[in-house]
Amino acid sequence: MAAPPRQIVQTLMAAHRVLVTCHRNPDGDALGSMLALGRILGKLGIEATLYSQDSVPKQFVTLPLADTIVRKVDPGMRFDATVAVDTGDQALLGDQMPSREAAGTLIVLDHHSSSKPFGDLRWHDPGAAATGILVAELSSALEVTLDATMGELLWCALYTDTGGFRYSSTDARALRLAARLAETGIRPWDLAVKLYENNPVERVRLLGQVLASLELSASGHIASLSVTEGMLSACNADESMLDGFINYARAIEGVEVAVQVLQRGPSCRISMRSKGRVNVGRLAQRLGGGGHPNAAGCQMDGSPKDVQRRLLELLEAALEDSVGSAPVDGPVQDTTWDPSPRT
Ligand SMILES: [Mn+2]
């Protein structure tokens, strides 16, 4: 088990009031980590305020304590410390972050490989399959025993960020935590049903439309999906329901990279997923975005059709460069990386 930087432990131990926040458009790791950390701090008698500007996606509203998250921070509040979890870029924090003085010591817990350093104290561990792992390790350093509520929250973090223990980020450290969480009394099947077998029918209808947009490159190595604003409104669906659709494209035999192009007014939000041969994180970074080697995102101007065509050219070139090369090194995650928060 890795140990958190001592200064982070000491700062939290000395704090009375802490703000915990995460990246915008929070995913299961961001929410699970934030909520679990809130509860851990609570056990120490520390008053924790949990702030996430965007509403909790429907998939996660039944997580314990999800209803304690606030979407605005009272401007009069002063904190001894602020912890940003699962956040690789300060720009991904909410608009209402308190001022430097009001926020106290800014602590960052993150595992994104393309993260841009920020904050006063930082625990950045790209080898961790989820930020939830760092939160669990922090709880040990703070001498807080994980209870079933924390178990459920951290299970959500770990399970969603490893794709149900399938992604290459799944390692002994992740599975050791899984065992520790199972010992808190959680029931993995009940949580899987809660997280993945509770789809709103609008999401399934939207999936039908999005899958119908599937296009394969001539080589068959690149698959792309597009999501237009028209599809969302026709299905009475919203962007939060798109989570995981791209994996259907990646799961096609022969496909190395899957792309999802989401129309947002005059530009598009791009998500890319690689099976491991092409480093899409590097490509996204070149396009002004970021992410992990196997999961990344960026934004491009133009219509979905136009963007799809340009991306295809870039990806074909990237694939050519990587012909015969081994899968990209290092642990890879498959977490959401959102360069362009919804407003
Ligand atoms: Mn994460």
| Residues 226 and 129 grouped into a single domain | no
Q: Cα(326) to centroid of ligand 1, in Å?
A: 25
| Residues 131 and 68 grouped into a single domain | yes
Q: Cα(56) to centroid of ligand 1, in Å?
A: 16
Whole-structure pTM value? 0.82
Among 196, 211, 242, residue at a domain's last position: 196
Residue 335 lies in a domain: no
pLDDT, tens digit, 9 for 90 and up, residues 160-192: 999 999 998 999 999 999 999 999 999 999 999
Q: Cα(131) to centroid of ligand 1, in Å?
A: 5
pLDDT, tens digit, 9 for 90 and up, residues 202-250: 999 999 999 999 999 999 999 999 999 999 999 999 998 998 899 999 9
| Listed residue (319, 318, 223) closest to 271, CA to CA | 223
| Residues 163 and 68 grouped into a single domain | yes
pLDDT, tens digit, 9 for 90 and up, residues 97-126: 999 999 999 999 999 987 889 999 999 999
Q: Cα(286) to centroid of ligand 1, in Å?
A: 22
- Domain at 231, CATH number: 3.10.310.30
Q: Cα(238) to centroid of ligand 1, in Å?
A: 22
Among 196, 222, 251, residue at a domain's last position: 196
Measure the CA–CA gap between 49 and 153, rounded to whole angstroms: 17
- 3-state DSSP helix/strand/coil percent for the chain, to nearest 5? 40, 15, 45
| Residues 124 and 267 grouped into a single domain | no
Q: Could you tell me what percent of the chain has a pLDDT over 90?
A: 84
Quote the DSSP letter at residue 58.
Answer: G
- Domain at 160, CATH number: 3.90.1640.10
Residue 329 lies in a domain: no
Query: Pairing state of beta strands 267-274 and 257-264?
Result: antiparallel
Q: Cα(278) to centroid of ligand 1, in Å?
A: 21
Q: Cα(111) to centroid of ligand 1, in Å?
A: 6
Measure the CA–CA gap between 338 and 29, rounded to whole angstroms: 14
CB-based burial, 132-163: b 16+ in 10 Å, e otherwise: bbbbbbbbebbebebeebbbbbbbbbbbbbbb
Q: Which residue segment(s) compose the domain that 96 sits in?
A: 6-196
pLDDT, tens digit, 9 for 90 and up, residues 7-41: 999 999 999 999 999 999 999 999 999 999 999 99
Q: Cα(27) to centroid of ligand 1, in Å?
A: 8
| Residues 151 and 19 grouped into a single domain | yes
